[in-house]
Structures are given as structure tokens and as C-alpha cells.
Structure 1
Amino acid sequence: MREQVVMVGDDRPLVGVFCEPKAGELADPRTAVILLNSGVIHRVGSCRLTVTLARAISERSGLSTFRFDFSGIGDSEPRRGTLTADLAAVEEVQEVMNYLSNWKQFDRFILYGLCSGAFAAYRTALEDPRVVATAQLDGYCYMTTKSYLIHYIRRLRSPARWLKFVLRKLGLLEQKRGADLSGIDERYFEVPDFASYPPKAEVAEGLEKLNQRNLQMLYVFMGNEHYRYPEQFSDCFSSVRFGDNLKVIHRPQASHILSEPHDRHTVVDAIVDWVRTTSRALPSA
């Protein structure tokens, strides 16, 4: 495996690290995996997840990978423009894809992202047919009737929750936010914000388009109070007949940022296996 720092663009370039397999071990010269930022965390990723995953894919799947910082994050300087952050992210991913196409002749890409990185991967896939697969961690999903029932029944059956509720009402217990509990500075703390999600029907329509294009999709959901059971994604988007285009993994004990080494290794292994299987099924010409 060989790594090198790469600057994409002449004016205020995007800074990234290109990782490629050893000579003779490149499994697919046409396909590269691009790993996207989560929130304002730079390309190393939370708990070095992105570095670990990028190297594991190159070593064990035989694919080149590129992890980079969006403008204004990490080593990439801010860029001035009128685009929203969401649109700018798609534009910058496409800029990276264009650069890698010209430099290494890649013509198809697998996009990986956690949380906001997953959303960027989804939006880019909608805009660019060169994206043949996406691996999304805690991507878009919505509550279903079953998840609401599980959510509230567990709360009602929990004596500890009733005790905390009473203590909070009496002013005897301070309610801590996720940033307080994690030990991460709040400005760097990102959790799924369901209130800001696009309408469910809009995402369902997008997924239908991607499914008709035979985009391969891996969704990994960690433990949170909104994703409650393994089949929730399929139930949520039941109008989309994914068939073999979709794989969903649910890790209910894992934290959103995969802070525990065991959970991190398990998810990395699952993604690497999926990438290897997916890339080998792509047409060779």
C-alpha cells in the first residue's frame, strides 16, 4: 500500500490522501473509493475511522481510495461562493472525481460517508452516474409505526426512565446533552438531526431513481432512539423494490461515531467485504 498527499484544484485546493494497493495487487483500475467528511471532522474521521477504512479497503479489496477535506475543513481552505453547504459538497465531490479521472483514469466511484457524509454521498449519486455504489453510515431513514411502538413501549416499561423523569421535574437531575456525555467539544459533535431531514417522499423518490440505475447501496445504522429494528429502512421505503441492490446492517449497541474498538472493527470489516464483493460484480469493460 502506498499513500500520498494530493491537492485538488489550483485556487484554494482540496487536500486529501490517495491510497493505492501495492504494485500487482490493484483489483480494478477503473474504480476508486472516495471517503467523505462527517460534519466538521477532517479526513482522519472520528476515532480515525476514515483512515482505518481507507487503508483496509486498499489492502484487502485491492481498490484505490481517496479521503479528503471539504473546503473550510481540516487542511482545505474555505472557498467563497453562493452555494449552500449541501450543494457545495456535491460540487466538490464531483471536482475530486474529475481530478481522479484525469489523473488515474478512474471512471466509476464508490462513495462512503458517515451522517452528513452519507447525505453527501446520496446527493452526489443522484447527480452523477459515475457513482456506482454508496456505503452510508446512519444515512437517511425515518420512523415507522413499528419503530414508534418499540420506542415508546421500552420507555414506558423502564423504571429507570420514570425515576429520571420525576427527578428532572423536581429539579433534582440535570439533563445532559449528547455533547456533554461524549466529552467531545460541542462544535465538533454531530448526531443525526431528523428534524432537518428532507421530506420522506423526496428521499423515497431519490432512492427509486438510484435503484432503477442499479446503484449498489450499503446502509449501516448504529444504536439510536430513531432506528429501532433491522428492517426499519426497508419498511420505511417499502415503495422501493430494492432487490439485490440493497444491504442493511444494524448495530444497535454501537455508538454513532463507533467509539468502541470492537464495533469499529466489525463495521470496517463489513464495509470492506461489501466493497470487495460489489466491485468484483461490476462489468470489466
Structure 2
Amino acid sequence: MQEQAFRFGRARHLIGVAGLPPAPQGAVGASTIGVIVLNAGLVHRVGPFRLHVELTRRLNASGYPTLRFDFSTVGDSGASGESQSREQQIIADANDAMTLLRRQAGCTRFVLIGLCSGAQNAHTVACVDDKVAGAVFLDGYAYRTFGYRLRHYLPRLIDLARWRRLLSLHRRSAEKVRGEPVFSTVPSPQTVVRADLAGMVERGMHLCLIYSGGINMFFNHARQFRECFGEVMVHPRVSTRFVRETDHTYVLVDDRKRLIDQIDGWLLSNFPLAQAAAAPVMRAELETLP
């Protein structure tokens, strides 16, 4: 495996680490796939608890070229100096990342991987860029459906011990500070996201949705994939998995290992590789970083 840090992009403002497998891919049609891992919120390119480092190195070992990078103004990346909306900037940054991986490894099609807001950003790019052949959405868009509310509230309604605790805390609840600021992004409407996912599959994309128990305030059962996004969730090119016992940031080593195993297996199944003799040499891209 070769890894090298790069400064790249239309304004040379982006920082990322590209990794090449020990042997290039050799199958016609599969040899062009590269994997790009996007920031999880404001966490820089290593990912929460180094998840992105462990993931990309595992995928390199399996035979996939990878890039983990920071979007504009996140982590080590600077501003492009352009007058753009955040959505336009994300799309342009992702295109710069694809250009880098194409130059370094010959990739012409890409799989995007993102956690939380990274999944939303991957969704945004996948909607408009035909070079995206697949995406892994980790704790991406989720909506409280009727089924969610039944599963969430019904057990609480019949829990007598819970009612006693609530009554005992009633006085203190009135003393709590109200109006505290909430920092969150406004999600796209459910109908829009549902149509987006259907359009991705219709274009031939492969999708993998893996949700954790860490977002149980929005998502609490495997059935909710279909409740949220409709019949497209049972399409052969769509894989879904709900892991109730896992937290949102995969803090436990074993949880990260299982997640990486799942993503690696999904990639090998949907974008199979054939090994060749020697790895390509990493080329300098404008300016390299140690």
C-alpha cells in the first residue's frame, strides 16, 4: 500500500491523503473504481476515532484506490475564495477529489462514503455527478415515520415505572433553562430524498445504507428504511442494515471492525476486482505534503 498527502483542487486549497492498493485492479469495468471518504461533520479527514484511516487502509488492502480529504474550510483545507453556496462548494470539492484520484490511479468511476452530514454531502454529489457509481450512507437522512412513533412511544406508554419517574421529576422540569440554542442542519424534505434515491438507482448506482442505534431519536428499526424511502429499498442494487447496538461514531474497536468488514464486503460484491502484477507509482500533484 502507498499513501501520500496532497494539496490539490481548483484553488490548491484542499488537503487529502490518497492511498493505492498493492496491486492495481484488472477487471474490465471494475478497474476504474475509486473510493472517496467525506468528512463527518467538522471532524477532519481521519474520521471519528480514526475510522476513515482504518477504512481506507483496509480498502487499499482489498485492491481499491482511496482518498480521504477535507472539504473547504474543514480540517486542514482552506477556502477556495469563490462566491458559492455551501452545496455548490461541496459538489466542486468532490469533483476536485475525483480528478485527483483519476490522475493518481486512473479511476473514472467512484464510490462515495459518508457518515452523518458526510452522508448528506455524498447524497448531494451523487444526485448530480454521473461519475458516482455507488455510495455508502452511514446514518444519513432519517425521518420519524408512523412506524417509528409506534415503536418509540407505545412501550413508554405502558411502562408504569417510567410514569412514576416522570411524575417525580415534574417539579424540577419547570426549573430547566428553556430556549437553549440547537446546532443542526435542516434536512431535505422526505419526498425529495425519496425521489433522489429512486433516481440514483434508476441511473444504475449501487447504494448501501447502514444506520446505527446512535440515531434512535430518528430511526429505530430496519423496517424504517422502507417506511422512509419506499420500494426502492428492496431493489437488488440497494443494501440496508440497521445495527441497534452500535453508537453513532463507532467509538468501540469491534464496532468499527464490523462496519469496515461490511463496507469492504459490499464493495467486493458490487464492484469486484481482479489482481494484476504491480502497483502504479504515485505521481506528484502540484504540491505534495509530508
> Could you state the TM-score of these two structures normalised by the residue count of structure 1?
0.85
Letter aligned with residue 211 of structure 2: F
Deviations along 1:94-150, one digit per CA (max 9) or x if unpaired, are: 121123223432110000000111011111111111100000101112222211100
Distance 1:19 1:67 in 2: 9
Q: Which has the higher contact order (CA 8 A, sep 6+)?
A: 2
**Which residue does 2:198 correspond to in 1?**
208
Aligned-partner Cα distance in 1 for 2:268–2:252: 24
SS class of match (1:154): helix
Q: Determine the C-alpha separation between the residues in 2 that align with 1:173 and 1:269.
A: 47
Corresponding position of 2:92: 91
In structure 1, the partner of 2:6 is 6
Q: Structure 1 residues 5-14 or 257-266, which shifts more? A: 5-14
Cα 1:175–1:162 change in 2 (3 A) is farther
Q: Which amino acid aligns with 1:144?
A: T
Calculate percent identity across the aligned residue pairs: 31
Farther-moved stretch of structure 1 (135-144 vs 211-220): 135-144
Instruction: Letter of the 1:212 partner, please give it.
Output: E
Task: Establish whether residue 226 from structure 1 lines up as the match of residue 228 from structure 2.
Answer: no
Alignment equivalent of 2:227, drawn from 216, 219, 235: 235
Moved more, 201-210 or 100-109: 100-109
Contact 1:26 1:62 in 2 (8 A): no
- Closer, same or farther in 2 for the Cα pair 1:32/1:148, shift >3 Å? same
Q: How far apart are the structure 2 equivalents of 1:262 and 1:156? A: 34
Q: CA deviation at 1:12?
A: 4.2
Structure 2: which 5+ residue stretches go unaligned?
275-290
CA contact 1:147–1:232 (8 Å) conserved in 2: yes
| Cα pair 2:20 2:60 within 8 Å, conserved | yes
Structure having the higher Rg: 2
Residue type of the partner of 2:133?
A: V
8 Å contact kept, 1:4–1:19: yes
SS at match of 1:125: helix
Distance in 2 (alpha carbons) for counterparts of 1:6 and 1:29: 23
Q: Where does residue 106 of structure 1 map in the other structure?
A: 107
The one-letter code matched in structure 1 to 2:82 is G
Shift in Å, 1:172:
7.5
Please say which of residues 216-225 and 233-242 is displaced more in the overlay.
233-242
TM-score normalised by L of structure 2: 0.83
Question: For residues 220 and 33 of structure 1, what CA distance do their matches in structure 2 show?
Answer: 17
Distance 2:210 2:19 in 1: 24
Paired residue for 1:183? none
What's the CA shift string for 1:72-98, capped at 9, x where partnerless?
A: 111111333332323311221012112
> Which structure 2 residues correspond to residues 19-58 of structure 1 after superposition, within 5 A?
19-23=19-23, 28-58=30-60
| Matched position secondary structure for 1:221 | strand
Which residue identity lines up with residue 22 of structure 1 in the other structure? P
The aligned amino acid for 1:166 is L
Displacement of 1:260: 1.7
Match of 2:247 among 255, 262, 284: 255
Displacement of 1:166 in angstroms is 3.1
Q: Which residue of 1 aligns with 2:278?
A: none
Provide the C-alpha distance between the structure 1 equivalents of 2:130 and 2:24, rounded to a whole number of angstroms.
28
Decide whether the 8 Å contact of 2:233 with 2:240 is kept in 1: no
In structure 2, the partner of 1:78 is: 79
What is the aligned length?
Answer: 267
Q: For residues 10 and 205 of structure 2, what CA distance do their matches in structure 1 show?
A: 32
More displaced 10-residue stretch of structure 1: 101-110 or 233-242? 233-242
Determine if contact 1:168/1:175 at 8 Å carries over to the other structure: no
Tell me how far apart the structure 1 counterparts of residues 10 and 124 of structure 2 sit (CA, whole Å): 25
Distance 1:220 1:175 in 2: 36
Secondary structure class of the residue paired with 1:112: strand
Q: Is the 8 A contact 1:36 1:117 kept in 2?
A: yes
Q: Answer with 258-267 or 132-141: which moved more.
A: 258-267
Of the structure 1 ranges 202-211 and 38-47, higher mean CA displacement relative to structure 2 is found in: 202-211
Give per-residue Cα distances to partners, 1:132-189, cap 9 Å, x unaligned: 000010111222221110010132244564354334422179989xxxxxxxxx99xx
* Residue 18 of structure 2: aligned partner: 18
